[in-house]
Amino acid sequence: MINSKDANITDDGYIEIAGWVHEIRDLGGIRFLLVRTRDDIIQVTFSKRKVSGELIEKVKTISRESVIHVKGRISKDERAPNGFEVIPNIVDILSVAESPLPLDPTDKVVAELDTRLDNRFLDMRRPKVKSIFMIRGLVVRAIRDFLYGKNFVEVTTPKIVATATEGGTALFPISYFDREAFLNQSPQLYKQILMSSGFERVLEIGPIFRAEEHSTRKHLNEATSIDVEVSYVDDSEVMKLLEELIIYIYEYINVNADKYLKTIGIDLKIPTRPFRQISYEEAIEIVDLKWGDDFGSLEEKKLGNEIGEHYFIKEWPLKLKPYYTMPLEKKGKTEILSKSFDLMHPRVELASGSQRINDYALLKKQMELRGLNPDNFSFYLDAFRYGMPPHAGWGLGLDRLVMTMLDLDNVREAVMFPRDRRRLIP
């Protein structure tokens, strides 16, 4: 593959590139093609003095967004996008683009998000949009880098399952031969089972499916979750791990994605450590909620404005968290708390985690208290009967992480082909 990065710029000043005709500028006797490679925009100049009539004729009627291959000589020119232009010797037209284009990849016309998503292949040709996904790729790389460095093993668990993780109703049913099955809403139960198998530190990066009918700027029906589970640690230790990971990602992107950040126009500020930790009780006081209420978008916004940086809300009432969450008894408190936390960005929740119950009898009891039938979960519960280490973990939403890092308005902007209630195509 040829792009400007690995384009051979030889000692004698020759370059080879391939890409899309981004813009065509005609100045009478001279014609400029701006060629967009994956990472750059390079000016190819066709002047009668320096280029053969045959080549000039070849590109005379070329349409924008056609794909071409160019070999030529580099010539310094301050006015060109990278400070140089290419004087072509060879031009091959590899694919002719139809016109008019359904969407303009030059950022000159701003289209609605829906139109952009309908024509996502073209939308992602726009340098600003492409940069989001180049960064998203690097975020995943940073996560692997960091966690592999801490001896995590990456796993993949089934997305087709027989029962709901949390017994909720927000599941997509699918037909599985002659049975009903579901798309998994979280790898939670499987990553816990892996603790009983002795994997000790697992990482999964994969899709989660939620059949919730909301249409908000932060919910998708198919999201990507970064899931981590660790044996022999408690909630506070996995909070620390999560905080370190977030900082690592920001630093990694600042160093390795500088070019893409500039294209988007983002000055990425590293969050301040340590992240503030407030208890659920303190948080409800700030936003005037009653004990037992959950935070809605309005309260999350108010808290975010108050705190202004990444923060944790911890020690949630047990009843607001899933059945597998470890209860926490605190002196002087009648309410039952839990060893749980949410990582919040001022705009939105990024992650939820906790220490998990590892006692079989207690886990079974908590399920029953929530009206779930343990018999439906024996594949999970059995893993607690024959030696289950204490463990803790979290799930971090990749889409929301990228949205908040890059200050995107809508989580859909951080996903190549988002799935929401209305959108199943492309």
Least distance in Å: CB of 105 to Mg ion? 37
Separation in Å, CA 149 to CA 130, 145, 153: 29, 6, 10
165 lines the binding site for ligand ATP (CB under 6 A): no
Report the candidate in 228, 238, 224, 265 with the shortest Cα–Cα distance to residue 402. 224
Segment 86-115, which members bind Mg ion (CB under 5 A)?
Answer: none
Say if strands 84-95 and 41-47 run parallel, antiparallel, or are unpaired.
parallel
- Stated as kind and residue range, the H or E segment containing 29 is none
Cα distances (Å, whole numbers) of residue 374 to 151, 325, 380: 33, 16, 9
Residues 225-244, one symbol each (x = binds ligand ATP by CB under 6 A, - = not), give x-------------------
**For residue 75, what are the β-bridge partners?**
85
Contact segment (CB under 5 A) with Mg ion among 48-56, 115-123, 349-357, 385-393 equals: 349-357
The minimum distance between CB 176 and ligand ATP, in angstroms, equals 23
Minimum distance from CB of 115 to ligand ATP (Å)?
22
Q: Using CB distances below 5 to 8 A depending on partner kind, what does residue 220 bind out of ligand ATP, Mg ion, none?
A: ligand ATP
Number of residues counted as binding ligand ATP (CB under 6 A)? 14
Taking CB within 5 to 8 Å according to partner kind, which of Mg ion, ligand ATP, none is near residue 205?
none
Residue from 105, 317, 397, 418 in contact with ligand ATP (CB under 6 A): 397
Q: Choose one: 49-57, 282-290, 374-382, 394-402; the region binding ligand ATP (CB under 6 A).
A: 394-402
Give CA–CA dist 93/69, Å, rounded: 7
Closest CA to 354 of 158, 147, 169, 188: 188
Which of 80, 86, 350, 406 touches ligand ATP (CB under 6 A)? 350
- Cβ count within 10 A of residue 331: 4
Does residue 395 belong to the site contacting ligand ATP (CB under 6 A)?
yes
Residue 57 tokens read as: 């004729």
For the CB of residue 241, give the shortest distance to ligand ATP in the complex, in Å. Answer: 15
- Given a contact cutoff of 8 angstroms between Cβ atoms, the answer to whether 191 and 209 are in contact is no
How far is it, in rounded angstroms, from Cα 417 to Cα 426?
Answer: 6
At 98 the three-state DSSP class reads coil
Q: How far is the CB of 342 from Mg ion (least distance, A)?
A: 6
Q: How far apart are CA 153 and CA 242, in angstroms?
A: 16
Asked if residue 420 binds ligand ATP (CB under 6 A), the reply is no
Q: In angstroms, rounded to a whole number, what is the distance separating the alpha carbons of residues 347 and 268?
A: 16
Q: Which listed option, ligand ATP, Mg ion, none, makes contact with residue 225 (CB within 5 to 8 Å by class)?
A: ligand ATP
What is the footprint of Mg ion within residues 350-389 (CB under 5 A)? 352
Catalog residues that contact Mg ion under the rule CB under 5 A: 352
Catalog residues that contact ligand ATP under the rule CB under 6 A: 210, 219-220, 223, 225, 349-352, 395, 397, 399-400, 411
